[in-house]
Amino acid sequence: MSTALEEHRLAIIGAGVMGTNISALALGHGVSVVLVDVDEIVLETARQAIRQKLRHAQLMGVLPADRPQGTLTTSVNLDDIAEATTVVEAVTEVDKVKQEVLSAASRVVTPGTTLISNTSCIPIDEMAEWIVRPEDLVGVHFMNPSYMIKMVEVIRGPRTDPAVLEQATELLTVLGREALVIEDSAGFVINRLLHPLINTAAMLVQEGVASVEVVDGLLEGCLGHSTGPLRTGDLIGLENLVDSLNVLYERRGDESCRPCDLLLEKVRDGHLGRKTGRGFYDYGKVAS
């Protein structure tokens, strides 16, 4: 295993919820990480969040006990990803932002470096147009929290090099994840199913059909949904959910993906879910 660990030099771009989740997962499995963002204040917050997530992962017993923790390096300089064997883009689900980041990253790294987008909805082949070598791009949709959920959705674009796909799945194996490979499509599998469900659940609350607690309770008790769709939305982050729904609606034209007024109102009011302490539920304080 030590040889496999040494083969992977991981860089992550974006120090938000998913960037810190993936960082904690990698560090806890002995893989060192270079985490890049544009703001040192954001990076300081990220360092604190990663420490907290690592403690949580250790308490939950989901990290290997026989590996020393990887080393975290943070930077505001994108050039610091140059030596990575794998780069994970984990910025917000807005195509213009992802285009800027992926385009710049692809010019910094050497040919054959695996570029992973943690996109939740934007098709891989669409993003492949933005980079220098389209064959180097693959999608890996980590769930939240990444260090707790073992299953990951791996998206093979039409131009993804088989060697790049293999490199990505080998890294996921080192990280203790189970990779299920699917073909490219807007929203892929998880979010083509999940996001319209959350949106419809919010519509039911908006229409006064049932309360938040009743909607979630019915999905949990009758269909076995582990947390309920609206509490899941709070975990995802309601602004991220709206961004992803907009991607799905724009690319698929499915009315069930048009964000409902209640979702848009919560985002306008800054009630984004657990991260702000309030979303569909009131968490009392800002979640760590």
CATH number at residue 261: 1.10.1040.10
Three-point CA angle 108, 159, 155, nearest 5°:
90
From first to last of its 288 residues, what are the pLDDT tens digits of the chain? 555 566 889 999 999 999 999 999 999 999 999 999 999 999 999 999 999 999 999 999 999 988 999 999 999 999 999 999 999 999 988 899 999 999 999 999 999 999 999 998 999 999 999 999 999 999 999 998 999 999 999 999 999 999 999 999 999 999 999 999 999 999 999 999 999 999 999 999 999 999 999 999 999 999 999 899 999 999 999 999 999 999 999 999 999 999 999 999 999 999 999 989 999 999 986 544
In this structure, are 8 and 128 located in the same domain?
Answer: yes
pLDDT for residue 106:
97
Is 102 within a domain?
A: yes
pLDDT for residue 270:
97
In this structure, are 105 and 177 located in the same domain?
Answer: yes
pLDDT for residue 6:
66
Number of domains making up the chain:
2
Query: Which of 141, 166, 183 is the last residue in one of the domains?
Result: 183
pLDDT for residue 226:
87
pTM: 0.88
In this structure, are 142 and 15 located in the same domain?
Answer: yes
In this structure, are 54 and 138 located in the same domain?
Answer: yes
Q: Is-contact 138 114, C-beta < 8 A?
A: yes
CA dist 20 to 100, 122, 130, 136, 189, Å? 20, 21, 25, 23, 24
Query: Which of 149, 183, 217 is the last residue in one of the domains?
Result: 183
pLDDT for residue 258:
97
pLDDT for residue 3:
53
In this structure, are 27 and 85 located in the same domain?
Answer: yes
pLDDT for residue 64:
94
Distance (Å, rounded) from C-alpha 10 to C-alpha 88? 8
Structural domain boundaries enclosing 109: 2-183
